[in-house]
Structure 1
C-alpha cells in the first residue's frame, strides 16, 4: 500500500491545480451516508429559524467556506475535496404535493436536508511519519441542527472545528485538545471563516506530532492492559462523585469490546506475541473504536482518547500511581 493514498477525480483542473479527493474509506462509521458538495448545494433545502424566517448557515456553506480558508492558508499545496458524511435525513415535499401518495411523488416534489453533517479535508502533501504510520494533515468540522433552537428567532449557530491528522493506514483521526474547537458560535459565514482561520493559525503541528511520537516510547504489559480494560468498564457504573475522582472516560461498553478485540486481531495495531502493546498502538485502538460514535460526539471522544493516552504516558514516565494501571 502506498504511503499516501490519493485519487484523482475526472481529470478536472481547478485554479490550474490538480484536484485530489480525501480517501473514500470512512473516518466515521456510525449510521452515516457519504455525500458530495454538489448534492448539499443543489439537492438539499436550508432550514430556517421559524419565528423570523431567517436562514441558517447551510452544510454546503460550512464545508465550502472551510475548504476555501484551508486553500488560502496552504496555497503551495493541493487541498483535497472534502470527505462528507451525513445522518438523520429529514424528508419533506413541496406544497403542491400535499396529500399525494408517496409512491407517486416526482423527484422535484421531494425536499430533504440532513440534521447532522461531518467532514474532513486532507492536505495529502503535508504528511508526517509517526511510529511507521503516515499521517496526513486534515481539517474538518461538524454541524448538528438538533443542537439549534430552530423554533426561535435567529441566534448564534453552533459548529465544531478540528485540525489534526488522519492516519493513512486506517483513516483514524488524531485530534489534540488544542486542535478542537467544539464551542464555535457564529451568526454569519464570515464569522465562521474567521473561526476556521483562527483555529488553523493557533494550531501547533510540531507540538502535536511530538506528543504522538512520544506515545510509542511507552508500553503496557498484558496484565496492565487487562487492568486498564477492567477499570474502563468499572468507570461506567460508578456514581458521579466517584467518577469525578478519576480521569473521565467517554468510550461506551461496545467500543471497549472493540478495543479488546482489536488488541488481538487488528493487523496494524495488535499486541506483540507476549501481550505488550505500545501506547501509540493503544491510542489507535481507541480511535478505531471511536468510529462508531455518532457525528455529534465523535470529535470530542477522539480528543478524550488522546488525553487518556497522554494521562497514561505521563504516569509511566514519572512512575506515579495511576488508577487505571495499578493493582
Structure 2
C-alpha cells in the first residue's frame, strides 16, 4: 500500500487522519516538530490502530532538513497539516505565521518536484472566503481580502500550490474546512492545544472541567439571530475521512484538474451561544461564560455548501454537533 507523509501528524486533525489512513491500510510517516503537540500522541495512535507510524521530529522551516528527509525516504503522497492556526494569534504575530505557513509549504513542494512525488493534499480553510456575500458558501465564492494573517497564509498557500501544479507533475487538492471539533471515540486522541486555547471547543471543555474560570464569548453584536458569531462545526473524524477519499482520488488519477478545491463542513451554521447550550444539554454541565468584545480577524458567519464534495468525493458528514461536543467532553475527562 502507498506510503503517505503526514506533516503535523501529531496535531489535532493530523492524528485523527493518521488513524484513518492506517485503518485503510496505508503506510504512514509523520513529521511533527511538537510546537503545538506532544510526543505521547504517537503512542496513543499506536494503541488505537496497533501500528506505530514512523516519526521524524523535523522543523519544516529548515530547508536542509526537508531535503534530507526526502533524500532518505520514498513516499507516494503528502497530507500537509503542519502550520500555525490561530486567527487571533496571527494578528499579533504575522511574521511568525508567514514564515511557518508559507516557508514550509514552499520547501515541501520543491522537494516533491525534485523527487517526483506527485500527490498533495493541502489543509486549507474557509477563512480564504473572508466574510462571504452569500451563505452557504460554495467553492465558487470569491476569495476576499483575508481578515487575518492566518487566512492570508491559506490564500497564498493555495496560490503557490496552484502555480506549482501548472509547471510540474504535482496533483493537489485543497480541502477548505470549516470548524473541526470533537475527539476520537476511543477518547485517546483529541484537541489539546498547548497553553490557553484559541479555539472555542477546548475552551468550553476546559471551562466545564474548571481548568479555566470563565469562557469568553467574543462579540454579541453580530448580525445573527442571537448576536454571536455563526460557524460550521464538523466532527474531526468526518473531516479525517475526507482526507482519505481526497487522497484516493489523486492516487487513482480520478481528479478532473491538477488543482481542485472542496469545502468540508456540515452545511449547517451554529452560533456560539447555540454551541454552549448544546454542550450543556449533552453533558449536563453548566458553563460559566461572559459576553465580551469582538476579536480582531473574526467574521460574522460562515457555513459550507458541501454539494461538490458529496458529488465528486462521495463524502458527506455522518456525525452531529452533539456527537462532537460529547466526544470532546469525554476526551477532556481523560486528561
TM-score range, shorter chain: under 0.3
Q: TM-score, normalised by structure 1?
A: 0.26
Which is greater in Rg?
1
Higher strand share: 1
Output the TM-score relative to the length of structure 2: 0.26
